[in-house]
């Protein structure tokens, strides 16, 4: 069975994110509305980059699965 889907490209998405400092250094972040999207980084700049990539991959997967 072939599953058909349509991917709509939008110029931008906005998600609320939570960034928390880790006890041993670095940061942990997650997106409450996107279950399972977590990222880690040594600096705020790194965590923002990692989180952006995690969100992008997750949303692309949701679109591909028609969710």
Residue 2 lies in a domain: no
Cα–Cα distances in Å, from 33 out to 8, 17, 23, 52?
Answer: 20, 9, 25, 14
- Domains held by the chain: number: 1
pLDDT digits (tens, 9 = 90+) for 24-49: 999 999 999 999 999 999 998 999 89
Residue 5 lies in a domain: no
Provide the pLDDT for residue 62: 86
Residue 56 lies in a domain: yes
Residue 11 lies in a domain: no
Q: How far apart are CA 9 and CA 53, in angstroms?
A: 16
Residue 28 lies in a domain: yes
pTM, whole model, 2 decimals? 0.74
Provide the pLDDT for residue 10: 53
Other Cβ atoms within 10 Å of 20 Cβ, number: 9
Residue 4 lies in a domain: no
CA-based torsion, 54, 56, 36, 18: positive or negative? positive
Domain region containing 59:
19-64
Residue 38 lies in a domain: yes
């Amino acid at each position: 069975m072939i599953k058909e889907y349509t991917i709509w490209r939008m110029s931008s998405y906005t998600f609320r994110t939570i960034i928390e400092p880790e006890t041993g250094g670095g940061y942990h972040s997650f997106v409450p509305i996107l279950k399972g999207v977590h990222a880690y980084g040594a600096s705020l700049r790194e965590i923002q980059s990692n989180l952006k990539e995690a969100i992008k991959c997750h949303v692309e997967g949701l679109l591909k699965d028609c969710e």
